[in-house]
Amino acid sequence: MSGDDLLGQAHVRLDEAAQQLNVDHDVIEKLKYARETTQVRLMIRMDDGSRKSFLAWRCRYDDTRGPTKGGIRFHPDASVGEVEALAFWMTCKCAVMNLPYGGGKGAVQVDPRKLSKAELERLSRAYIQAFSRIIGPDRDIPAPDVYTNSMIMGWMADEYAQIVGQAVPAVITGKPIALGGSLGRGDATARGGYYLVRHLAENLGLGKSMRVAIQGFGNAGQHVARLLVADGHRIVAVSDSDGAVQSDVGLHVDMLIAAKEAGQPVASTIGQGGHQSLSAHELVGVDCDLLVPAALENMIDETNAGTVRAKLVLELANGPITPEGDTILARNGTVVLPDILANAGGVTVSYFEWVQNRQGFYWTLEEIHDRLRAIMEREGGAIWSISREKNITVRTAAYVHALSRLAEAIEAHGTQSFFMS
Ligand code: NAD
């Protein structure tokens, strides 16, 4: 599926929400298009002395509610359409959580696994050189996303400081702790999703010991596995881009994490500790109570949604279910806790990092967890109530929640504002 289709899909959700609210046509018109998307070609020196170029983008989708916020993805399939769709989701996500931000996103079309560490650092610095006039602590604030991490954010923060001649830690979040990163950012996305499931457990009729399948075993997937196991649940299947493993009695999460840290796929643990082989495409149909997509977009569509046996899906990935997949899941009675709510713990702790950087006063891990839990429960509870009152899916309810806040802000700017031009 192309990136353009992805943005089209995102708009389906916006239209569904608009039908539930009496919003002005101008509001929808404004939210249908990215405010600005910049494309550049980054040229870097490779270790062998040759030069290589990479396409890169930064999109500031909508800044009505504040500076734009969103991660930078390094992926060989990155495209402008994907970047804009992800930036649109960030706009909605920040509104869902009531964070004082608009939505943005960035990407480089590259397979970072094919670069040396020195090449990766040169590419990360080149990205900031190209976009230093677009980003800024009050304008556009990047963060990590797929195949980028705190080490890369550290290089980027350093490059920005060199360009502007002073340390500006609030220009980027997800930094190493040593450079002003926040405690609790590492597992924030997974932890937010975990707090949400715990808070809604009674409403959802969840048992104390759930069988869980996780698609994608990177930052989000590994941390949610750890948190759920510590809470008495069983991880019965896990996949990554190279394969999958399953165990009816529960996978050894520490063994899986150790394999990933050693650069091995999850399938390298097959044969150890009762881990059995599973094909990656069978993962979504595994017999479980909770399915956690934590990889990429469009993993559950009309071809495989009918195989899902879980009664609950927690979307830690962005856009893992297509609208057609959604329809099938809803018809089969599967509840989906949607991305713009379920994985919003990451941007929420990024916001905490930005607040701490600006005030120069840092919070304890306990304070971070308490604040994150309070926001997930407040917004998750409000969205759950909207979905019950209006008899709509939790996804549409989340968009209704976001859209009403966005509409209020767009209208408050006034009709002559550049925001409405
Ligand atoms: P990551 O790079 O750490 O991990 C991605 C994982 O997905 C890897 O294990 C990779 O092997 C796996 N994967 C890739 N293709 C796959 C496939 N076809 N089948 C199964 N697994 C596959 O990335 P992450 O930070 O964990 O992000 C995962 C998802 O969560 C993305 O959609 C991202 O946008 C979303 N997300 C992440 C954060 C965050 O803070 N990290 C915040 C919000 C949303």
How would you classify the pairing of strands 234-240 and 140-144? Answer: unpaired
Q: Which residues contact 237 (CB under 8 A, 6 or more apart)?
A: 213, 214, 244, 245, 246, 247, 251, 278, 283, 286, 288
- Map residue 13 onto helix, strand or coil: helix
What number of CA atoms fall less than 13 Å from residue 323's CA on the CB side? 13
> Looking at ligand 1, which residue's alpha carbon is closest to its atom 33?
317
For the chain, give percent helix, strand, coil, nearest 5. 50, 20, 35
User: How many helices (DSSP H) and strands (DSSP E) are in the chain?
Assistant: 13, 12
How would you classify the pairing of strands 51-62 and 36-45? Answer: antiparallel
Q: What is the predicted pLDDT for the residue at 95?
A: 98
| Residue position matching structure tokens 């094909």 | 279
Q: Residue 196: which of 2, 374, 10, 400 has the closest Cα?
A: 374
Among 316, 350, 372, say which to mutate for ligand 1: greatest number of ligand atoms within 8 Å of CB: 316
pLDDT in tens, the chain (421 residues): 556 688 888 888 899 899 999 888 888 989 999 999 999 999 999 999 999 999 999 999 999 999 999 999 999 999 999 999 999 999 999 999 999 999 999 999 999 999 999 999 999 999 999 999 999 999 999 999 989 999 999 999 999 999 999 999 999 999 999 999 999 999 999 999 999 999 999 999 888 899 999 999 999 999 999 999 999 999 999 999 999 999 999 999 999 999 999 999 999 999 999 999 999 999 999 999 999 999 988 999 999 999 999 999 999 999 999 999 999 999 999 999 999 999 999 999 999 999 999 999 999 999 999 999 999 999 999 999 999 999 999 999 999 999 999 999 998 988 776 655 3
Phi, psi of 350 (to 5 degrees): -60, -40
Say how many Å lie between the CA of residue 239 and the centre of ligand 1: 11
Give dist(CA 129, CA 276) in Å, integer.
Answer: 47
- Map residue 19 onto helix, strand or coil: helix
> Which region holds residue 273: left if phi is over 0, alpha if psi is between -120 and 50, else beta?
left
Q: What is the predicted pLDDT for the residue at 9?
A: 82
Listing DSSP states for 21-68 in one string gives S---HHHHHHHTS-SEEEEEEEEEE-TTS-EEEEEEEEEEEE-TTSSE
How would you classify the pairing of strands 211-215 and 140-144? Answer: unpaired
- Angstrom CA distances, 130 to 55, 98, 108, 125, 169, stand at 11, 30, 12, 9, 18
Give dist(CA 270, CA 177) in Å, integer.
Answer: 35
Say how many Å lie between the CA of residue 54 and the centre of ligand 1: 21
Catalytic residues: 105
Give the nearest ligand 1 atom to 244 CA.
20
Q: What is the predicted pLDDT for the residue at 421?
A: 39
> Looking at ligand 1, which residue's alpha carbon is closest to its atom 30?
317
Give dist(CA 387, CA 329) in Å, integer.
Answer: 16
| 68 neighbors 139 (Cβ within 8 angstroms) | yes
Give dist(CA 354, CA 28) in Å, integer.
Answer: 29
Give the nearest ligand 1 atom to 339 CA.
44
Give dist(CA 401, CA 184) in Å, integer.
Answer: 26
Q: At what angle do helices 365-390 and 345-359 cross, to 10 degrees?
A: 140
For residue 76, the Cα-to-chain-centroid distance in whole angstroms is: 18
> Looking at ligand 1, which residue's alpha carbon is closest to its atom 42?
346
Give dist(CA 414, CA 28) in Å, integer.
Answer: 15
Say how many Å lie between the CA of residue 333 and the centre of ligand 1: 26
Q: What is the predicted pLDDT for the residue at 258?
A: 98
Give the nearest ligand 1 atom to 350 CA.
40
Q: Which residues contact 120 (CB under 8 A, 6 or more apart)?
A: 112, 152
For ligand 1, residues with CB inside 6 Å are 145-147, 189, 215-221, 239-241, 280, 294-296, 316-318, 343, 346
| 93 neighbors 318 (Cβ within 8 angstroms) | no
- Map residue 252 onto helix, strand or coil: coil
